[in-house]
Amino acid sequence: MIKVTDLHKSFGKVEVLKGIDAEIKEKEVVCVIGPSGSGKSTFLRCINLLEEITAGDIVIDGESLTDPKIDINKLRSQVGMVFQHFNLFPHMTVLKNVTLGPLKVKDLSNEEAEKLSLDLLGKVGLSDKAHVYPGSLSGGQKQRVAIARALAMSPKVMLFDEPTSALDPELVGDVLEAMKDLAKEGMTMVVVTHEMGFAREMGDRVLFMDEGVVMEEGPPENIFDNPQHPRTQEFLSKIL
């Protein structure tokens, strides 16, 4: 589904990603963990071309992101992204937030877009919030709207960048629940997270990133219970 080969990313002279190789298979849930500043967000943002790739390549479903002929907008519509700070559109109702993409990018009719969006809002448990503005929602509700908004484009893969980090602890559960449902339906997911419980339960694989490379990867039980690399051991001992 996604194949990352020797990915490098620099901001000016600072190299943030120093050669990442990774493969994400269809229906796989891959969790990315690692210390702050290790490049986890940058890695996700490269997959969505929110950052320009400095060197190396990413191939999604057979299409290379470094191919100059690639239609960036089309590609982005197939890669859903959920941000730490939700980034809902505050001037639109919840429903409009979700229908915008289907209307403008997928060219659905008003009725089709609304039906699709109401279905998705129902799925994340927010049918009753369709006509309110995001400002009146809790963080957990906002994040579930953001998930519905991304899903409305029927993406082939969903990227999550610390989707629960900005939430009050009691609101984390609902969002994780929505993500679990998604994983069970077979969505391909890449999740940057500090929720080790989620990674252990739902992750098919865990990537441990540090200093711009993937230091260690494997099934969650191996990474959490029997980490090989000293940096992984150090990191886990700090957070667990």
Partner 1 sequence: MIENLTEIFTSPHYRNTLPFIVRGLQLTLIVTFTGVFFGFILGSIFGLARLSKSKIIYGIATVYIELVRGTPILVQALFLYFAVSDFFGINFDALTAGIIAIAINAGAYIAEIVRGGVESIDKGQMEAGRSIGLSSTQTMRYIIWPQAFKRMIPPLGNQFIISLKDTSIFAVISLGEVTYLMRQYVSTSGDPFIPYIMLCFAYLIITVPAMIILRRIERRLDV
Ligand X SMILES: Nc1ncnc2c1ncn2[C@@H]1O[C@H](COP(=O)(O)OP(=O)(O)OP(=O)(O)O)[C@@H](O)[C@H]1O
**Which residues here bind partner 1, judged by CB under 8 A?**
48, 50, 73-74, 76-81, 83, 85, 87-91, 100-101, 104-105, 146, 149-150, 152-153
Q: In angstroms, what CA-CA distances link 191 with 29, 41, 68, 83, 199?
A: 7, 10, 28, 11, 8
- Cβ distance to partner 1 smaller for residue 59 or 75: 75
CB of 212 to partner 1, least distance (A): 21
What, of ligand X, Mg ion, partner 1, none, does residue 16 touch, CB below 5 to 8 Å by kind?
A: ligand X
> Which residues fall within 8 angstroms of residue 73, CB to CB, at 6 or more apart?
105
According to CB under 6 A, which one of 7, 38, 97, 188 is a site residue for ligand X?
38
- Cβ distance to ligand X smaller for residue 82 or 95: 82
According to CB under 6 A, which one of 22, 39, 49, 216 is a site residue for ligand X?
39
d(CA 72, CA 65): 8
Give the three-class secondary structure for 141.
helix
CB of 5 to partner 1, least distance (A): 23
d(CA 228, CA 218): 10
Asked if 38 touches Mg ion (CB under 5 A), the answer is no
- Cβ distance to ligand X smaller for residue 208 or 224: 208
- Cβ distance to partner 1 smaller for residue 99 or 232: 99
How many helices (H) does the chain have, and how many strands (E)? 9, 10
d(CA 90, CA 87): 8
Cα 96 → chain centroid: 22
What, of Mg ion, ligand X, partner 1, none, does residue 36 touch, CB below 5 to 8 Å by kind?
A: ligand X
According to CB under 6 A, which one of 2, 22, 29, 41 is a site residue for ligand X?
41
Torsion over CA: 133, 138, 143, 144 (sign)? negative
d(CA 196, CA 240): 8
In the complex, the residues that contact ligand X under the rule CB under 6 A are 11, 16, 34, 36-42
